[in-house]
Amino acid sequence: MTTASGFREINFDGLIGPSHNYAGLSLGNLAATMHAGKISRPREAALQGLAKMRLMLSLGLGQGFFLPHERPNVAWLRQFGFGGSDAQVCAQAWREEPLLFAQACSASAMWAANAATVSPAPDTADGRTHFTVANLSTMAHRSHEWPETLRQLRHIFADQRYFAVHEPVPARFGDEGAANFMRLAAPVDERGVEIMVYGEAGGAFPARQSAEGCRAIFRRHGIESSLTVQQSPEAIAAGAFHNDVVAVAHENILFAHEEAFADKDAFYEALQTRCNDLVIVEVPASEVSLEAAIASYLFNSQLVTLPDGQRALILPMECKETPSVRRWIEANVGANGPIHAAHFIDVRESMHNGGGPACLRLRVLLSPEAERAVNPAYLLDARTIERLEAVVSSHWPEQLSPTCLGLSDSWQHFNNARGELLAVLEQPFE
Site track 120-139 with ligand SUG (rule: CB under 6 A), x = hit? -------------------x
Compare residues 26 and 129 and give the one whose CB is closer to ligand SUG: 26
Site track 70-99 with ligand SUG (rule: CB under 6 A), x = hit? ------------------------------
**One of 359, 371, 395, 413 is an active-site residue; which one?**
359
Could you confirm whether 212 is annotated as catalytic? no
Compare residues 18 and 355 and give the one whose CB is closer to ligand SUG: 355
Compare residues 52 and 142 and give the one whose CB is closer to ligand SUG: 142
| Residue in 69, 290, 28, 292 with CA at minimum distance from that of residue 176 | 28
| Residue in 292, 347, 341, 293 with CA at minimum distance from that of residue 317 | 347
Compare residues 82 and 205 and give the one whose CB is closer to ligand SUG: 205
Compare residues 26 and 367 and give the one whose CB is closer to ligand SUG: 26
**Burial call 232-265: b when 16+ CB within 10 Å, e when fewer:** bbebbebbbbbbbbbbbbbbbbbbbbbbbbbebe
48 to each of 15, 317, 328, how far by Cα in Å?
Answer: 10, 12, 26
3-state secondary structure of 300: helix
Judge whether 10 and 63 are in contact, CB under 8 Å: yes
Rounded CA-CA distance 350/359 in Å is 9
Q: How far is the CB of 103 from ligand SUG (least distance, A)?
A: 9
**One of 69, 144, 221, 242 is an active-site residue; which one?**
242
Q: How far is the CB of 373 from ligand SUG (least distance, A)?
A: 26
Q: Considering only residues 170-209, where is the footprint of ligand SUG by CB under 6 A?
A: 179
Site track 211-250 with ligand SUG (rule: CB under 6 A), x = hit? ------------------------------xx-xx-----
**One of 9, 145, 176, 259 is an active-site residue; which one?**
176
Q: What is the DSSP letter of 329?
A: H
Could you confirm whether 359 is annotated as catalytic? yes
3-state secondary structure of 130: strand
Could you confirm whether 214 is annotated as catalytic? no
Q: Considering only residues 31-60, where is the footprint of ligand SUG by CB under 6 A?
A: 32
Rounded CA-CA distance 244/199 in Å is 13
Question: Three-state SS string across 42-107, please?
Answer: HHHHHHHHHHHHHHHHHCCCEEEEECCCCCCCHHHHHCCCCCCCHHHHHHHHHHHCHHHHHHHHCC
Binding site residues, ligand SUG, CB under 6 A: 22-26, 29, 32, 106, 108, 111, 113-114, 139, 142, 179, 241-242, 244-245, 353-355, 359
Residues with catalytic roles: 176, 242, 359
